[in-house]
Each structure stands twice: as structure tokens, then as C-alpha cells.
Amino acid sequence: MKDYEAMFEPVLLATRKWDAEGIRSMCVSHHFYMRGTVAQYTDMLNYVKENDPTPENIYNVANDILNYTDPNEDQTVTNIMYIIENEVVRTSYEIKENAEWTAWNSSRK
């Protein structure tokens, strides 16, 4: 791509969110976290409330869920991460004009 073409590229923003209720519903529907205490479960849900769904945070929650899930459920941390990503995390997108494009276009008037 030529340098001047880069100024025409839009700025793409992605906002990712999750919530404790989504994690709770996922755990119930998949029979996760059946071996943890109420305090442990509450701590995990509070972690979700206080953190964004980055890959590292999704891993931390999935690993915690795995540690308190019945081993007979035959789950892996990566499978739980996949389920969190697909059932709980919501991503919204926003497209903004590139500031250089806006300035260039305004100067042409």
C-alpha cells in the first residue's frame, strides 16, 4: 500500500465486554464449577466484573472454572476459553474516519 493510501483507511475500533451473569449462565448450562465453594465462585464472578475479556483474563477465568469442574466433564482450559468467547463475550465494532483523511478532505474545499 502506498503511503498516501493509508490516510484513507478508516480507524476500526472493537469493544469487547462480558459480565458475571453470562459466566454464571454458562457455568450452569455446561455443569461447570460444581466442586467450588460459594466464596470461590463469588471471587471468580467478581474477577469477571472487575476485568475486561482479554485473552489472559479469559484464560484466568477458564482455568479457575476448570479447577472446580468435575473431571468427568472431560474439559480442557482451551475448550472452556472457546465457550466463554462464543457464549459470553460480546464484541461491538465502530468505524471512524481517519483524522488525516478528514483533514485532507477539508483542505480541498
* pLDDT tens per residue across all 109 residues of the chain: 556 566 667 888 999 999 999 999 999 999 999 999 999 999 999 999 999 999 999 999 999 999 999 999 899 999 999 999 999 999 999 988 776 666 656 666 6
d(CA 66, CA 101): 48
Count of structural domains within the chain = 1
pLDDT at 45: 98
Please write down the HEC assignment for all residues of 41-100. HHHHHHHHHHCCCCHHHHHHHHHHHHHCCCHHHCCCHHHHHHHHHHHCCEEEEEEECCHH
Domain that holds residue 9: 3-107
Residue at grid coordinates 472457546: 82
Cell of 29: 448450562
- How many other CB atoms are there within 10 angstroms of residue 82's CB atom? 13
pLDDT at 98: 72
